[in-house]
Amino acid sequence: MLKKTLLSGLGAAVICASASAASLTGVGATFPMPIYKELSKIYYEQTKNEVSYSGGGSGKGIASISAKNGDFGGSDEPLTQEVLKEKNLVQFPAVIGAVVLGYNLNGIKDLRLDPSTLAMIYSGEITKWDDMKIKAL
């Protein structure tokens, strides 16, 4: 259960086929793109090997690496073990992000939402800031 929760909470994962070249090409999720670009610069400075990455979304990353068009693909969604085995791919977390709730309500300071209320906001059960559950907190 914990393993499944951790996997579903990953911000981005790298999906790899076998690659061994002085130049690597990746495509996929846009969320990790800024860090991939920055790390690629540092890697080039240290090794003179190029890594290029372009966004386009997780679906594009999965499709690209599945078709062997490139060396790695970025995906916000973990692939199942069955899909990884079928396509002869390996997947591992590369960049992890968090989702945070920000608010700016007049007269409200130090609002602390409990896990239950927060879950109700994200699930759409609570849609207004004046909901009784929030007022009680």
DSSP string across 9-61: T-SEEEEE-----SEEEEEE-STTHHHHHHHHHHHHHHH--EEEEE-S-HHHH
- CA separation for the pair 83, 62 (Å, rounded): 11
Q: What pLDDT was estimated at residue 13?
A: 53
H-helix or E-strand spanning residue 106: none
Q: Which residue, 96, 126, 98, is CA-closest to 113?
A: 126
Percent of the chain residues past pLDDT 90, beyond the cut = 63
| Amino acid 10: pLDDT | 37
CB 61 within 8 A of CB 33: no
Per-residue pLDDT band for 11 (boundaries 50, 70, 90) equals very low
Give the architecture-level CATH label for domain 2-95: 3-Layer(aba) Sandwich (3.40)
Mean pLDDT of the chain: 84
pLDDT at 18: 47
What CA–CA distance (Å, rounded) separates 72 from 18?
Answer: 9
SS3 95: strand
12 vs 8 pLDDT, higher one: 12
- 33 near 53, Cβ under 8 Å? yes
Which part of the chain has CATH 3.40.190.10?
2-95
Assess contact for 44 and 24: CB atoms under 8 A. Answer: no
Note the pLDDT tens digit of each residue in 20-52: 557 899 999 999 999 999 999 999 999 999 999
Q: Each residue of 48-75: pLDDT tens digit?
A: 999 999 999 999 999 999 999 999 999 9
